[in-house]
Structure 1
Amino acid sequence: EINEIIRHLNNSAPGSDNLSSFFFKDTIDYVASIITHLTNESSRTGQFPDILKEGKIIQLPEISNAINFSELRPITILTVLEKILEEFVYKQLIDYLDEKNSH
């Protein structure tokens, strides 16, 4: 499942670790098993690494030529690894809820 998530990653900006989605796609044979282990351990222990709780906040203009802070909106850029883990948890949750609703 991690392999599928990596293959379908959008080519978005890298997060604070500067690792791009291209990196994960190019190294999928190596990183998929490591990420799978990380997600399994995180699920088993209920612990989530602190480094993956960080994001880079940037301001985007809501209008062209924004000059006031009120014309900006903040967004958080997550690391690609965080996006992979988030998608994995999302899919697991949806599968669980679908299973519960079908009974």
Structure 2
Amino acid sequence: MSVSSVTSTASTTSTTGTSTSSSNDIDLSTADFLKLITTQLENQSPLDPTDTTEFMGQLMSYATFNQISEISTTLDTLVDTISTMNSTVTSLYEATGKASA
């Protein structure tokens, strides 16, 4: 059975002097996953079909991956928002002349 490869991309985010790097970002959409599952089902041997438990495990793994990806995106947005708020508050505090040395 031939299955197309899944590409992995690396991203680097820099925020107020700190840098985080992630090389675990995988660009696999729901449509890609469904295409892989469909291809697997089309090419399985009728004499040796895929185990139902294994198939459900694959579906659950993708569902978990998808939820974790959404949580990660939400947390990244939250970190960016907090960083922006911190910069704004610091700037306002310094502008009022009350910054401590």
With normalisation by structure 1, the TM-score equals 0.29
Q: TM-score, normalised by structure 2?
A: 0.29
Larger radius of gyration: 2
Give 1 or 2: higher strand fraction. Answer: 2
